[in-house]
Amino acid sequence: MTNWFQRQWAGYTFWHIILMPLSWLFGFVVFLRKYLYKNGWLKSYRLNVPIIVVGNINVGGTGKTPLVIWLTEQMRQAGYKPGIISRGYGGNARQVTEVFPASDASVAGDEAVLIAARTHCPVFVSANRVAAGQRLLETYPECNVIISDDGLQHYRMQRDVEIVVYDSVKGFGNGDLLPAGPLRESKARLKTVDAVVSNGVDNGKGLKSVNPIEMQFVATDFYNLADHQLKSGVQAFSQQKILAIAGIGNPQRFFDQLSHLGLCFESRAYADHYIFQAKDFDHIDADVVLMTEKDAVKCRAFVKPNFWVLPVNAVVENGLMSVVLNKLNSGNTE
């Protein structure tokens, strides 16, 4: 069903005759909900520390998690002690849950586990992000800023800085609201946030009304999932039979990255947040299995010696931290 919608959202088909009225209704509900929160008819909550939301206006992955990891390190360098909250997508936690590097991704969510492993900061997940933030501050009172992985539309939680991440490859599809298009909010929302970060070079194709800050992903050496101390450069795989897997928002981005590294491989794309099982790797005819870090946290329970992981780091243009720090230091958090 997800793939079907993705195909419809790429343009316009017969189904839009049926879906467009639902999109108009969805847009009215979005507008009304935001209006009620803004004017106090629905209660919102302010936590005791500043909140930075990293989100998007469309469904699916855009590259938020690497940006959250990058932003966490930058806030540390600026003298802050950050904590992180998340919805925990892909996990089944029913209550506020603290996440550790060794947490079960099927409970806490793959992105939250990856963030905990990469940042070593306090991480809490819950559908109720206010409750997650409150528990984080109760448990770690030294934290003086919270970064929310997603949650742009979670207006119940007041925020101080809003950052939207945009995937320059996927774009905004046909530009319509759900379910006729992939948007949770209209593109006009981009004019109201503090910064828009383009994952990749946009070239003005999708962002015509704002000036985005560019972000690129830079790969480092592969590491072995069974033994993280074991590293390898790409040349070690050049003569081997490779299977590349990806259960992320944009699997093609990972496959393109491997191609740019000069590798030839068979690829298997899965749905975002796909929970891998040991049987997914039965009867594989490959010397090496390559995967993303987000997928790796879901494969630890049945790891094999030929599982290799390609870590990536976000590299962000100058300017984003100035926006964030100026907003926090100005006290203008409305």
> Is 96 inside any structural domain?
no
90-115, pLDDT tens digit by residue? 999 999 999 999 999 999 999 999 99
List all residues 6 or more positions away from 18 whose beta carbon is below 8 Å from its beta carbon. none
- Confidence (pTM): 0.94
pLDDT per position as a tens digit, 229-246:
999 999 999 899 999 999
The identity of residue 152, as a single letter, is L
If asked whether residues 290 and 151 sit together in one domain, one would say: no
User: Are residue 200 and residue 267 in the same domain, yes or no?
Assistant: no
Per-residue pLDDT reduced to its tens digit, 145-159: 999 999 999 999 999
Q: Is residue 182 part of a domain?
A: yes
DSSP3 helix / strand / coil % (the chain, rounded to 5): 35, 20, 45
Q: Which residue has better confidence, 310 or 208?
A: 310
Determine the structural domain holding residue 27 and report its residue range.
Answer: 7-80+144-216+316-330
* Residue 73 domain-assigned (yes or no): yes
Give yes or no: residues 64 and 198 share one domain: yes
Q: Are residues 161 and 238 both part of a single domain?
A: no
The answer to whether the CB of 172 falls within 8 A of the CB of 56 is: no
Integer angstrom CA distances of residue 262 from 46, 230, 251, 289: 49, 21, 17, 16
Give yes or no for a contact between 183 and 57, defined as CB atoms under 8 angstroms apart.
Answer: yes
Q: Are residues 262 and 298 in the same domain?
A: yes
pLDDT at 132: 98
Residue 216, H or E segment:
strand 213-219
Q: Do the domain assignments include residue 128?
A: no
**Cα distance between residue 295 and residue 92, in whole Å:** 17
- Per the structure, the count of domains in the chain is 2
Element (H, E) at 290: strand 288-292
36-78: per-residue pLDDT in tens?
999 999 999 999 999 999 999 999 888 999 999 999 999 999 9
Asked whether residue 300 falls in the same domain as residue 166, the answer is: no
Residue 279: how many CA atoms within 13 Å on its side-chain side?
Answer: 0
For the residues 298-312, what does the mean pLDDT come to?
97
Give dist(CA 264, CA 147) in Å, integer: 38
Whether 74 and 153 map to the same domain: the answer is yes
**pLDDT band, very low/low/confident/very high, at 79 (cuts 50, 70, 90):** very high
Same domain, 206 and 226: no
